[in-house]
């Protein structure tokens, strides 16, 4: 038998190439838009004297986190413990797991990470406090614990003073635990369409957080950190006087879902994340087929949109198969367009990034760099 074991898969792109040379489908990062979004959030946090701890679940890339930290971010948020490992390897020494976890495998990861970096975690049940507290205390590491309060999201998090008090009181039993403040993220309001709706609901969430802070203070427990906020409400949360730390993730990309929000603040974020696709079949009238399907774009927040430009008014992405995207065609005949490129705006950045190994970073028509999505697939 012939030995082909040294056969290399061709790279998706190389720095210096033009966009027409990139293999498709490719996850594209427009560096001008990305850098502008990056700068805006860093300066917003600075102006308000609030810490920025961007969520790494959006991009899963240590290269991007390092740039966020270089602009002043205090560390990163991860949603899963395994997701944190590449960021620790990359030298990021402060990670907040903004999510609850259960099970001895997860607790073991938390203890290992806490032995290496400053680690904070979320809880909403005393059994989680016990499990993490016993394990941390047994090996002599400190884990910062931030109970999550539900401020309207209706997902995880306690929703009463009594439940919060039970968590804080239980922590005191464990030398390996330190009360770090509150996790208070309201994901349910981030995509409310109008600026005014988001302003009103963010104010409601901030009132709920303030009530929990006052309750704890009355019991003698000050909250050193109150962490929350996503891209859709960060301009309200940062000015609320309640949050000390912001966790936005998607702001660097502005995906299609966020693109349909009304933006009326200091800054309008820019689309920075795209999928480059190729028209691979024009055999049918009023239809073209591109090479981006469900394996190349998440559709939970809507189908991808065609970016402004050559094809904006001619093509509409109307359905996704595994490897195919069906494009409805305004023109009668697309036969001459076979092989042409179409830039798509994905509906939801987080699960889309998790489908790719690399960002192809470009400026204008030129590929500037390839960045690994090194926490891709680490969701346990």
Ligand X SMILES: Cc1ncc(COP(=O)(O)O)c(C=O)c1O
Binding site for ligand X (CB under 6 A): 55, 58, 77, 98, 185, 187, 190, 230-231, 247-251
Buried b (16+ CB within 10 A) or exposed e, 237-259: bbbbebbbbbbbbbbbbbbbbbb
In this complex, which beta carbon is closest to ligand X, that of residue 185 or of residue 356? Answer: 185
Where on the phi/psi map is residue 75: left (φ > 0), alpha (ψ -120 to 50), or beta?
left
Angle, alpha carbons 36-81-26 (nearest 5°): 45
In this complex, which beta carbon is closest to ligand X, that of residue 190 or of residue 240? Answer: 190
In this complex, which beta carbon is closest to ligand X, that of residue 233 or of residue 277? Answer: 233
**DSSP-derived secondary structure letter, 284:** S
Where on the phi/psi map is residue 154: left (φ > 0), alpha (ψ -120 to 50), or beta?
left
Beta carbon of residue 337, minimum distance to ligand X (angstroms, whole number): 35
Beta carbon of residue 116, minimum distance to ligand X (angstroms, whole number): 22
Beta carbon of residue 57, minimum distance to ligand X (angstroms, whole number): 6
Beta carbon of residue 185, minimum distance to ligand X (angstroms, whole number): 4
Where on the phi/psi map is residue 157: left (φ > 0), alpha (ψ -120 to 50), or beta?
left
Distance CA 177, CA 121 (A): 10
CB 272 within 8 A of CB 314: no
In this complex, which beta carbon is closest to ligand X, that of residue 237 or of residue 291? Answer: 237
In this complex, which beta carbon is closest to ligand X, that of residue 198 or of residue 305? Answer: 198
Beta carbon of residue 146, minimum distance to ligand X (angstroms, whole number): 11
Distance CA 36, CA 299 (A): 26
Structure tokens at 337: 């367009």
């Amino acid at each position: 038998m012939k030995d082909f074991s040294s056969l290399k898969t061709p790279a998706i792109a190389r720095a210096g190439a033009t966009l027409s040379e990139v293999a498709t489908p490719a996850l594209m990062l427009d560096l001008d838009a990305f850098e502008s979004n990056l700068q805006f959030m860093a300066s917003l946090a600075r102006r308000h004297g609030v810490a920025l701890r961007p969520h790494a679940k959006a991009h899963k890339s240590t290269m991007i986190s390092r740039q966020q930290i270089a602009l002043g971010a205090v560390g990163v948020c991860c949603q899963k413990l395994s997701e944190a490992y590449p960021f620790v390897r990359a030298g990021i020494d402060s990670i907040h797991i903004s999510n609850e976890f259960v099970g001895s495998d997860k607790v073991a990861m938390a203890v290992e990470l806490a032995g290496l970096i400053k680690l904070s975690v979320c809880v909403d049940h005393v059994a989680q406090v016990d499990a993490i507290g016993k394990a941390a205390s047994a090996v002599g590491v400190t884990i910062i614990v931030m109970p999550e309060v539900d401020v309207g999201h209706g997902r995880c998090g306690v929703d009463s003073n009594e439940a919060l008090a039970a968590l804080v009181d239980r922590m005191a039993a464990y030398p390996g635990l330190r009360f770090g403040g509150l996790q208070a993220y309201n994901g349910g309001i981030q995509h409310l369409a109008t600026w005014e709706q988001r302003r009103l609901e963010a104010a409601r969430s901030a009132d709920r957080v303030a009530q929990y802070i006052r309750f704890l203070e009355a019991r003698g427990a000050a909250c050193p950190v109150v962490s929350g906020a996503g891209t859709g409400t960060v301009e309200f949360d940062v000015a609320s006087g309640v949050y000390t730390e912001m966790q936005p993730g998607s702001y660097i990309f502005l995906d299609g879902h966020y693109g349909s929000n009304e933006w009326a603040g200091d800054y309008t974020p820019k689309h920075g994340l795209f999928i480059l696709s190729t028209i691979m079949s024009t055999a049918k009238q009023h239809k073209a087929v591109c090479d981006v399907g469900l394996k190349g774009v998440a559709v939970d927040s809507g189908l991808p949109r065609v970016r402004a430009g050559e094809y904006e008014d001619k093509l509409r992405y109307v359905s996704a198969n595994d490897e195919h995207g069906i494009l409805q065609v305004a023109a009668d005949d697309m036969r001459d367009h076979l092989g042409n490129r179409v830039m798509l705006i994905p509906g939801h950045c987080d699960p889309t990034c998790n489908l790719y190994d690399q960002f192809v970073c470009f400026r204008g028509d030129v590929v500037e760099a390839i960045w690994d999505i090194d926490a891709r697939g680490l969701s346990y």
